[in-house]
Homo-oligomer: A and B are copies of this chain.
Amino acid sequence: MQISGANIIGYTESSSGSQTFQTFNPAENRSNETSFFEAVESEVQQALALAEKAFPIYAQKPVADRIAFLKRIVSLLLENQNMLIQHYVLESGLAFSRGETELKRTCVQIETFLKVIEAESWPIQSEETAPNGIYFQKRFAPLGPVVVFGASNFPFAYSTIGGDAASALVAGCPVIVKSHSMHAGTGYLVSKLIIQAALETGMPDGVFSNLQIKDHQLTAMLVKHPCIKAVAFTGSISGGMALVAYAQTRKDPIPIFCEMGSLNPVFLFPSAIHTKSQSIAKAFSDSITQDSGQFCTKPGLLFLIENEEANQFIEELFKEINSKPALLMLGPTIYHNFMQGSEAEEKQFANKSREISDNKSQENYGLPLIDVISLDDFKKSAIWQEEVFGPYALIIRCKTISDFQDVAKMLSGQLTATIWAEPSELEMQETLLFEIQRKVGRIIFNGVSTGVQVIDSMHHGGSFPATTDSRFTAVGKDAIYRFLKSISFQGFPKTHFDKKT
């Protein structure tokens, strides 16, 4: 498939603008060839107008048609997976095998959402005859057109047809994707397959658009437009909060779902070190270096209690980390942010696990690093609570278990927290557990936070600033409820609902 570099506005390709950009191959440290056209205002307006026009048609399609559309997307993704993953690798530096896993996961995710609307009762929430004899039916209905901002680190699973876009489409909402500029080619290819599926299954023009935008004013235009009824974003805190600020100038409040990263603290109890020091060191170092540590669920903070066994654990962790090579990162910006974050001047009193000089071996390759500081030092500067995206973690030496509780109270919102301990210890840690529950969306016991399972019982969310709304998840079937509202039908004849739409 040729990549024209155009914006995809419903069924039409459009390249009205004069500004172009290229994506970057981090492995070869050079730009990829294709030029992508930045969208201009008229193109953004056109995508918005089409989405608004498509909404009533798409929302009223029989559910079976919507299912066919999404299933066709899945089959096209799988049919074209080699081609897609080749581009994915060129634009992300991620391994082909990771691309395979991620694409499979993306498809599973779509199928998980489809199960919600495939249910016999869909879209009925409940029905009953009220005490006054009147028949009520409460039903789900889509909110309206949704804007999706994908993440750099998941070109498939959190981007063009990732969890946000897919759940919105399954809910019955047209989607406008603001394409991630780092994988614009992959985004273009996936978008073309979505459009092919839409055409083949008779979906309305405008059910999906993919815009290449770098101008913040055009981003704001998308978020502020009256026809847009929800926004989903995965990325940085500054990026997410910019969208929240745009939305605050709207006349009508709309939900803005931002997933903005996390430090994913780990609380390591002495008992766990005592019984399985080595396996935890291995699990932790594997977790922080998996895919170059470029996961929002990478454990970035590890709290432990100072003692001889803890010192040995740290040595083992250093050994594990030092056995890892420098790791290819998603691109130069992310690589430089990683270097800056892990080498910040304020961090001079940290004991890094490796000599910094080693870390300059090759452009875009980040060397896994671990800092060790005291709890007192940790409390002295907010810099330690800034996420370092990449293979970096900070160990904090605490004095007592009650320090863990204090830390949990002090931490800001997180996607996850992890506890390594004996089950019997867990029972005595009610305060710690409660403080953690106030902050996080998922608590892991004796395991690692990376490797988010796409299952119903997953909650991928957490308190601010991990997300902007801790009540909702971005992974698992419940993600679809972000884009649905409820309507009660009072006194309608039951037969009115026979035609399932």
Whether the Cβ atoms of A434 and B253 lie closer than 8 Å is no
Judged by a CB distance under 8 angstroms, whether A186 is at the interface is no
Is there contact, CB below 8 Å, between B244 and A464?
no
Residue of B nearest to A438 (CB): B144
For A492, list chain B residues within 8 Å (CB): 426, 443, 445
Chain A 66-80 against B: per-residue CB contact (8 Å), 1 yes, 0 no?
000000000000000
Kindly identify, within residues 410 to 458 of chain A, every residue whose CB is under 8 Å from any CB belonging to chain B: 413, 423, 426-427, 430-431, 434-435, 437-438, 440-447, 451, 453, 455-458
Give Cα distance in the complex from A440 to B490, angstroms: 12
User: Does A97 count as interface, using CB distance less than 8 angstroms?
Assistant: no
Residues of B near A141 (CB, < 8 A) are 437
Contact A138 B456, beta carbon cutoff 8 Å? yes
Instruction: List, in ascending order, chain B residues with CB within 8 A of A471's CB.
Output: 143, 255, 481, 484-486
Contact of A487 with B136 in the complex, beta carbons under 8 Å: no
Q: Is the CB of A487 within 8 A of B441?
A: yes
Q: Decide yes or no whether A28 CB sits under 8 A from chain B.
A: no
In the bound complex, residues from chain B placing their C-beta under 8 Å from that of A444 are: 490-491
Query: Is A457 touching B125 in the complex (CB atoms < 8 A)?
Result: yes
A358 at the interface (CB under 8 A from B): no
- Is A126 an interface residue, CB under 8 A from the partner? yes
Residue-wise, chain A 135-169 has the 8 Å CB interface mask toward B (1 for contact) of 01110010110000000000000000000000000
Is A493 an interface residue, CB under 8 A from the partner?
yes
Q: Are A464 and B253 closer than 8 Å at their CB atoms?
A: yes
With most chain B CB atoms within 10 A of its CB, the pick from A134, A459, A486, A488 is A488
Q: Is the CB of A445 within 8 A of B490?
A: yes
Q: Measured between alpha carbons, how far is A423 from B493 in the docked complex, in Å?
A: 7
A98–B439 Cα distance when bound, in Å, is: 44
A59 interface hit (Cβ, 8 Å): yes
Contacts of A445 in B (CB 8 A): 489-493, 496
Whether B490 contacts A443 by the Cβ 8 Å rule is yes
Q: Which residues of B contact A487 (CB under 8 A)?
A: 437, 440-443, 459
Assess whether B470 is in contact with A485, with CB atoms less than 8 Å apart.
Answer: yes
- Is the CB of A235 closer than 8 A to any CB of chain B? no
Cβ-defined contact, A441 with B486, below 8 A? yes
A286 on interface, CB distance cutoff 8 Å: no
| Contact mask for chain A residues 459-493; partner B; CB cutoff 8 A; 1 contact, 0 none | 10101110011110100001001001111111111
Q: Is the CB of B441 within 8 A of A488?
A: yes
Q: How many monomers of this protein are in the complex?
A: 2
Task: State the CA gap A143–B143 with chains docked (Å).
Answer: 24
Contacts of A427 in B (CB 8 A): 496
Specify which of B136, B457, B491 is in contact with A128 (CB 8 Å cutoff).
B457
Question: From residue 371 to 419 of chain A, which have CB atoms closer than 8 A to chain B?
Answer: 413
On whether the beta carbons of B130 and A453 are closer than 8 Å, the reply is: yes
Q: Which residues of B contact A137 (CB under 8 A)?
A: 457
Indicate if A56 sits at the interface (CB-CB under 8 A).
yes
Residue of B nearest to A484 (CB): B471
Do A473 and B490 contact each other (CB < 8 Å), given the known contacts A136-B458, A248-B248, A456-B138? Answer: no
Interface string of A229-251 (1 = CB under 8 A from B): 00000000000000010001001
A457 to B251, CA, bound (A): 30
Contact A60 B131, beta carbon cutoff 8 Å: no
Q: A453 to chain B: which residues have CB within 8 Å?
A: 130-132, 134, 136
B461-A486 in contact (CB<8A): yes
Bound Cα distance from A441 to B132, whole angstroms: 20
Distance A447 CA – B492 CA, assembled complex (angstroms): 10
The one of B144, B253, B488, B495 in contact with A442, judged by C-beta atoms closer than 8 angstroms, is B488
Q: Does A252 contact B (CB under 8 A)?
A: yes
Q: How far is the CB of A119 from chain B (nearest CB, A)?
A: 14
A343 on the B face (CB < 8 A): no
Contacts of A447 in B (CB 8 A): 134, 490-491
Contact status A470-B437, CB under 8 Å = no
5 contacts between A and B (CB under 8 A): A128-B456, A132-B451, A423-B496, A442-B489, A471-B484
- A residues adjacent to B (C-beta < 8 A): 56, 59-60, 125-128, 130-132, 134, 136-138, 141, 143-144, 244, 248, 251-253, 255-256, 413, 423, 426-427, 430-431, 434-435, 437-438, 440-447, 451, 453, 455-459, 461, 463-465, 468-471, 473, 478, 481, 484-493, 495-496
Other A-B pairs beyond A128-B457, A255-B469, 11, CB < 8 Å: A125-B457, A137-B457, A143-B470, A251-B464, A427-B496, A443-B489, A443-B490, A445-B493, A459-B486, A461-B486, A478-B486
Closest 6 CB pairs of A and B: A252-B464, A136-B457, A459-B488, A442-B488, A138-B457, A470-B485
